């Protein structure tokens, strides 16, 4: 959330006069870009068309729009500046004057809904501080948020775009430098709780289908000054308070936790899917909260791209996906648009198997590269990612319909369907009985895992 003013193509800081044209109610922010069409015969250089994503095309009984439930994140797409730890902003958004004013926030929001409409997505997602400026105190911050939420509600009604999920930014402000719900200062815990209360009120008003908790600073940098059990106990208390308020106000959305192993903390308590599932089960919260998986975070944890998606789904805890990717060779969270067909196919296999993501979706928690400075790059990035997942969906559907991979996996575990294996599966055997089985049947055979065979099958489809 930079205070830098955008610059024009000649490097000069734009003047306030240049933004006045965007204050008109009928202002067009993306001139020259029409609603993105589906054009399957488009050539390789035609970037402002869908070549694979056809919203109404039916795949395994549902249309693509239902399977994929695409969402645009507000924070990267409309608050991103192209700045990174090594360089100043590079992205000039002609409607954005770089200020934290309510007028500027309203322009951004109107630009966003034009973008959603032209792109043809049905959902968006935001943090509270993305859409409205923080005030001098909580009361002023809430007042600012109320004013912007009124406009958001009006724009949602006009366009039919819905809120996939809302969340609160409990990590950027200096008050949260030592965490929010895990902060050693109870005053900070209370402030975070008050902010979430307002966030849930907003989520209810805008009809959010989910509410996400990302513990950006819920972790530690040193164990020398940290009581980990105390911090985890407090975090569980925080979730219980949020659940109680959710029920009190009648918010029906799903609560989601988004795992991440590191950044900005050295170690974060929501390290990966299994860590979060273990936390939720330990504190009796597993029936109240599911997971929002971001594959870029999964690879930061040292896992394969699809790992946390598979693990969360296996325990019926996969609620939504922040669809992005990273560059493992760089080693930090780069939030790139997902353009890898194989990764998309592996992810969509899981989603098809569990019957979809509803009420979750595929939220593009992605930012254009700081070198991609044209407004049309915003569209091209999303279109490319949406086409990637459309192809992944169709390939995953073929794999499921052919049933070759799933049959092979089932056969690999077939020894658990009868005899001693069925007793193990049912939990009706004992160590003594298993010892007797080995004494009678001897050494087990070596059965090939055939990894290369499975990889070859997948490559046949890709």
Active-site positions? 127
Helices (H), 26-70: 64-68
Q: Which DSSP category does 265 fall into?
A: S
Residue 57 tokens read as 């095309």
* Per-residue buried b or exposed e for 26-46, using 16+ beta carbons within 10 Å of the residue's own CB: ebebbeebeebebeeeeeeee
Name the nearest CA neighbour of 8 among 83, 92, 81, 89: 92
* Residue 250 DSSP SS3: coil
The whole-angstrom separation of Cα 382 and Cα 350 is 22
Residue 289 tokens read as 């909260």
Cα torsion through 307, 312, 316, 319, rounded to 10: -110
Q: Taking a C-beta distance cutoff of 8 angstroms, is the pair 327, 339 a contact?
A: no
Q: Taking a C-beta distance cutoff of 8 angstroms, is the pair 269, 239 a contact?
A: no
Residue 373 tokens read as 């400075």
Burial class (CB in 10 A: 0-12, 13-18, 19+), 249: exposed
Name the nearest CA neighbour of 74 among 383, 378, 297: 378
Residue 408 tokens read as 């092979």
Residue 170 tokens read as 């409990």
């Amino acid at each position: 959330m930079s205070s830098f003013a955008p610059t024009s193509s000649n490097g000069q800081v734009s003047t306030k006069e240049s933004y006045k044209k965007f204050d008109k109610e009928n202002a067009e922010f993306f001139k020259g870009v029409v609603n993105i069409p589906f054009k399957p015969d488009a050539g390789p250089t035609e970037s402002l068309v869908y070549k694979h994503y056809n919203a109404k095309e039916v795949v395994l009984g549902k249309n693509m729009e239902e399977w994929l439930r695409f969402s645009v994140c507000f924070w990267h797409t409309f608050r991103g500046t192209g700045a990174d730890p090594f360089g100043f902003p590079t992205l000039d958004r002609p409607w954005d004057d770089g200020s934290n004013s309510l007028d500027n926030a309203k322009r951004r929001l109107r630009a966003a809904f034009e973008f959603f409409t032209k792109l043809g997505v049905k959902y968006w997602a935001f943090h509270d501080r993305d859409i409205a400026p923080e005030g001098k105190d909580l009361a002023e911050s809430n007042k600012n948020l109320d004013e912007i939420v009124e406009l958001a509600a009006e724009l949602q009604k006009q366009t039919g775009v819905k809120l996939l999920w809302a969340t609160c930014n409990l990590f950027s402000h200096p008050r949260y430098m030592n965490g929010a719900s895990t902060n050693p200062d109870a005053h900070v815990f209370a402030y975070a709780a008050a902010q979430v209360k307002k966030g849930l009120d907003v989520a209810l008003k805008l009809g959010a289908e989910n509410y996400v908790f990302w513990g950006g600073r819920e972790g530690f940098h040193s164990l020398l000054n940290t009581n980990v059990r105390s911090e985890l106990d407090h975090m569980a208390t925080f979730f219980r308070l949020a659940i109680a308020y959710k029920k009190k106000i009648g918010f029906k959305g799903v609560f989601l936790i988004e795992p991440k192993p590191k950044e900005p903390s050295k170690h974060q308590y929501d390290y990966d899917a299994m860590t979060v599932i273990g936390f939720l089960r330990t504190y009796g919260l597993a029936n109240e909260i599911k997971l929002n998986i971001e594959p870029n975070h999964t690879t930061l944890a040292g896992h394969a791209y699809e790992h946390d998606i598979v693990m969360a789904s296996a325990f019926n805890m996969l609620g939504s996906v922040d669809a992005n990717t990273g560059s493992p060779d760089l080693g930090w969270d780069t939030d790139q648009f997902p353009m890898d067909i194989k990764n998309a196919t592996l992810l969509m296999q899981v989603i098809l198997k569990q019957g979809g993501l509803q009420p979750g979706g595929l939220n593009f928690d992605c930012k254009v590269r700081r070198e991609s400075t044209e407004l049309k790059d915003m569209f091209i990035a999303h279109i490319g990612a949406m086409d990637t997942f459309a192809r992944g969906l169709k390939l995953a559907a073929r794999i499921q319909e052919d049933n070759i991979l799933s049959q092979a996996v089932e056969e690999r575990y077939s020894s658990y369907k009868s005899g001693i294996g069925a007793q193990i599966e049912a939990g009706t055997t004992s160590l003594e009985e298993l010892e007797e089985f080995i004494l009678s049947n001897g050494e087990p055979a070596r059965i090939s895992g055939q990894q290369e065979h499975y990889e070859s099958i997948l490559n046949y489809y890709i």
